[in-house]
Structure 1
Amino acid sequence: MSFRPTTRILNFSRNLLRQAPRRRVQTAAEANANVASKQSGFSKFLHSPVGPKTVHFWAPVMKWGIVLAGVADFFRPAESLSLSQNMALTATGIIWTRWCLIIRPKNIFLATVNFFLGCVGLIQSTRILIWQNSVKGAVKEEGEAAKKVIEHPVEAAKDAGLKN
């Protein structure tokens, strides 16, 4: 004799299955979001992917030293600055600013320091180029005056206010 469940038992078991709460599997991102929503602002910062427990935080902090050194060079004369070094700082700042906005997690803090590094390098490079052009202009004027003295020494002496 085979056991055949009655319709009443089948309906009862179906109703139980329908009424049972379904367990939803939570993804890791949802779990992190739930934990983050319960944390304080400082705790969120401390445990964030770019927080002080990671290199994503400390690399920009250390790089601010380079930016501050470049700002301190604003007070040095342009002839004592290196054009190649400041062009390298400009290129580094521009390239890494773009890269910081592409990588995951986006590191806005690192992008900011690289942006300012590029700005400092650009300002210093501009100062150096302006100084080099002014020196070239002064040398050119002196060269023309020297040429005049060599070609016409008497007229040059008269122009300078010297008498025979």
Structure 2
Amino acid sequence: MSSRAGLRFFQSARFSRAFTKKSLGRRYQTADATAAPAEGILQRLWNSPVGVKTVHFWAPVMKWSIVLAGVSDFARPAESLSLTQNIALTATGVIWTRWCFVIKPRNLLLAAVNFFLGCVGVTQVTRILLYQRSQEAASAGQIVEKDAKDVANTVKGITTDPEGAAQKAVK
């Protein structure tokens, strides 16, 4: 039964007549002999709604400089980076990446630059937060060292003058 259904499909869809030499010649001919030739790739880019002569092209091109500045900050030490500035870069990248898919005409070049701006911001914020966490751990270590020195001095005082240490403890 299944082979018969396939046979019926090909017969009813005019499959056998669709690929004859006569129909192929007529199928791809245009009705109007004076039709305009197809646009080239550069002409389509020039006339596109997000093409070279619009702000939809030049705004993302210029915004790449912000991304490159963020990438160049990878070489700077984390203590010299601004957390608020990098949070703003991250938020800008995330919000505008989403917005680029909502607005018309949809601008994929702008979406790409904003996505990378968000990635750079997330990387820098992570670097800054890891640096701050390491500083907190270092300061906690310094507190422990100070307390250990105080205890060592107290023990040293008790061993050298036990009566004086006992009188200090009573007071």
Instruction: Say yes or no: TM over 0.5.
Output: yes
Q: Give, as a single letter, the amino acid of the residue that structure 1 aligns with 2:114.
A: N
1:61 aligned residue: 61
In 2, Cα distance between the equivalents of 1:102 and 1:152?
A: 67
Q: Which digits, 9 at most, give the CA deviation of each residue in 1:65-94, with x for residues without a partner? A: 000000000011100100110011000000
Deviation at 1:154, TM superposition (A): 5.9
1:88 aligned residue: 88
1:42 aligned residue: 42
The CA RMSD measured in Å over matched residues stands at: 1.7
1:112 aligned residue: 112
Deviation at 1:151, TM superposition (A): 3.6
The alignment-based identity, stated in percent, is 56
Deviation at 1:150, TM superposition (A): 2.4
2:131 aligned residue: 131
Q: Give, as a single letter, the amino acid of the residue that structure 1 aligns with 2:75.
A: F
In 1, Cα distance between the equivalents of 2:71 and 2:155?
A: 49
In 1, Cα distance between the equivalents of 2:123 and 2:39?
A: 43
Distance 1:79 1:155, change over 3 A: farther
TM-score by structure 1 length? 0.70
In 2, Cα distance between the equivalents of 1:82 and 1:66?
A: 15
In 1, Cα distance between the equivalents of 2:155 and 2:118?
A: 52
Gaps of 5+ in 1: 1-33, 157-164
TM-score by structure 2 length? 0.68
In 1, Cα distance between the equivalents of 2:153 and 2:122?
A: 45
In 1, Cα distance between the equivalents of 2:96 and 2:41?
A: 28
Query: Which secondary structure does the structure 2 equivalent of 1:152 belong to?
Result: helix
Q: Give, as a single letter, the amino acid of the residue that structure 1 aligns with 2:50.
A: V
Deviation at 1:38, TM superposition (A): 2.0
In 1, Cα distance between the equivalents of 2:155 and 2:125?
A: 42
Residue 71 in 1 paired to residue 71 in 2?
yes
In 2, Cα distance between the equivalents of 1:59 and 1:150?
A: 62
1:162 aligned residue: none
